[in-house]
Amino acid sequence: MEIIKQPWPWYIAGPLIGLVVPALLILGNKAFGISSSLRHICAACVPANISFFKYNWKKESWNLFFAAGIIAGGFIATYLLSVPGSVNLNPQTVATLQHQGVKDFSGLLPGDIFSFSQLFTLRGFVFIVLGGFLIGFGTRYAGGCTSGHAIMGISSLQWPSLVATCCFMIGGFIMTWLILPYLLQL
């Protein structure tokens, strides 16, 4: 049981994640990705005359079980398998973030940015609400999420997925090094 509680090295976790792709393709001709789950939920729960939601969502219901499994796994990992204490971060990262005003490293996310009490501040609104909207918009605009494009799309040699993944990475670098320091000053 102790092996499950510790972080696994990249050379074990990476191939295991990568093996999900051929398993899904071989076992059911299914594509890995999670962002389409919201569309399936909306199509199932909102019977409206919106053409985007008019399709046979029941054919893709396996994806809803996959998403539920991710949520259940996250709950189990957080509340039953986690090791008490703070997340192990690089000391240089901690020093850089502390210099930029982030002080609370007690949870999985910095509490002084991502907490319910911060939601009603300008900083919390920008990070949680505006950031969430931009991620959702970008996912829809790119035709999938980072994991879907990077894991499934690139492994199945799809050129648009390579372009999308490169753009995700460039956007992440720009955000981390150029925009985030200014947002943390809010």
Cβ–Cβ under 8 Å, residues 119 and 128: yes
The two tokens of residue 15 are 């191939």
Cβ–Cβ under 8 Å, residues 183 and 71: no
| pLDDT, tens digit, 9 for 90 and up, residues 107-117 | 778 888 888 88
Do 24 and 61 lie in a common domain? yes
> What distance in Å separates the CA atoms of residue 169 and residue 67, rounded to the nearest whole number?
24
| pLDDT, tens digit, 9 for 90 and up, residues 59-106 | 888 889 988 999 999 899 888 887 777 777 889 988 988 988 888 888
Percent share of the chain, pLDDT over 90: 20
The two tokens of residue 42 are 């909306």
Do 69 and 136 lie in a common domain? no
Domain end, chosen from 34, 66, 82, is at 82
Domain end, chosen from 82, 104, 124, is at 82
Total number of domains in the chain: 2
- Within the chain, where are the H helices? 2-5, 10-18, 20-28, 36-45, 61-79, 91-99, 122-124, 131-142, 146-147, 154-155, 159-174, 180-183
Do 13 and 63 lie in a common domain? yes
Structural domain range at position 29: 1-82
